[in-house]
Structure 1
């Protein structure tokens, strides 16, 4: 396959040295390698091959790549650093880099500490590598940029358009490396390296959990509204905020002043889950339950002039009457649309609206809304927000 330019290997399959060797020999035009390893399979590989990671996954012979993903690195991490450095040194046109380390390798602490990424950057500079012009940098599990100076050795951050940082340690035991020590909300990750004055082209920034150091990053982007309006911000897991309900991010002070204040930026696009299991619960430090109406009301209060796109996920299962607050519920089988209909007209610049739902439980005899119900709901929502240009309801329209 001499014309092959992109190679993707999913985590479900086992990759052997012969495959990598054939790829190197036969695919001289290869520009992108995306290898997704699986940490649970390392023992299986050893039993069947008795080979080292160097034998199994030696990618160091590849050069002039534009995209490189090496996920779930395991085994001798010092060897892996050298392998990656060699690829980077011979790929000056690289535009996308994604790295992560398996949880098992982190637990074993074999050549691992939280400075793995900084050491890799230093190793790259030591062999004469000049700063790359990465557009996408994804630092997965165990790969933490802890030094601005080290990061600058790897890439000129002014070219970055997308950054992801896995700032989570959910899989690690009590004796493992602690990214956020007890009672601390700052990790040491240099989030300030990605502030707008350093990354003028940044358009997407994502993290695993919302901590105070992440909040401070957003505050830096909120100084100038023109900065925050062009930044898409994503949090993979909002359950670890310390107060149980991610919806509280839209409430001033979020119930925890000084630790997790409300979002400091005005939102242009927003996706929100209105499932009862997510929103209807007693929240520590609050005297009342945080109702769906309050969630949407707080969003309106802080984003009336900025929000242009809204994606809502609602329940798609039968509920008891006390929570069936949908639009003509018995006919449409929708939930929350009466609440949504009431508030969307208050977003003065709303252009796009998407409404989807959680699938019913397997043992439920209740199906999705009928086409007639969807059309009826679309008409009513469009009437409530005349500025809408696009409506998607349950993947229709």
Structure 2
């Protein structure tokens, strides 16, 4: 077990960032999720971060003195994405490793990625981040040796002595492999669309409870299913898109996708890398925007998610807001207010009400039918038994008579193959 790294947090508070306190809490959470113990926080109010040493010269000297007095191996973590010159200057002045917010998020994504597609996406984002920073990072990574592996864990073949050309070649190779995986998923998506099955996508801030909500739906409607997804109380537990089929008691069904969570100021390298995965959102019929209602910063998190959806081009898709963790927020649940539902995925309360909202928005109302299907068309009988709600089956001289409720599209598809009573 590796030794946990200790770190100071550094941040510049500028006027146009009113949610500075919550940003710092999130930075601390990112550090802790990367097994880093935060031992001190240094902030400074400035009009903008200093272009070469981030903090003001006086504040930087204070930090350097504190580091020297504390002793031991301590890193500093900046709340912003640093430029190569800022990294070089800070490391020279503070004589320690310098990380930034982007490095932490990349590290966290790297530790959470499970599928080959997610691993490739994270690795490409890491290399794209490192490419313009080779000079600034060279000394730091030479000093860290084995280190804690931040931004370089498991990357023995890409140590800092690699030149720009080799890194670009690696990126090209990984992108070629990624394109093949993306193409395979696009084929699967087109097949689903051909079958006309509605797609519902879960979106929201990281750790809002999207995976827990998906699992609650599976427990309610497919209790025998072994296809539950990993759901843990941690940042970025989900990095790969999971698709599950939810079949309702009346045989109506829809597909639901669980996607990577968002975070404030998500590095553009990651948005770009995960764009192929997040394209699932842009082709959904409905978005379920899951909100951690127990989080005091939930309104800000809602805005971050909306901004990310706009960036992805998904702002035109209808949205249902699922205010999750209502049991922890101390509010009445389940309750519905227009396009918003308050529920608790953990308690399994509000799941049926949410499905009713989904049903109203994406599922065609069933129509009642009384039909006779000739015996030679037994395949149609099998289809309706699987995809419709059959109330009564009788075998008559002319064929199989069914009283059922079915989707209008299925009725029209076979209309010329059966007799209507």
TM over 0.5: no
Work out which structure has the larger RCO, using CA pairs closer than 8 Å and 6 or more positions apart in sequence.
2
Greater share of residues in strand = 2
Greater share of residues in helix = 2
Q: Which protein shows a greater Rg?
A: 2
TM-score normalised by the chain length of structure 2: 0.28
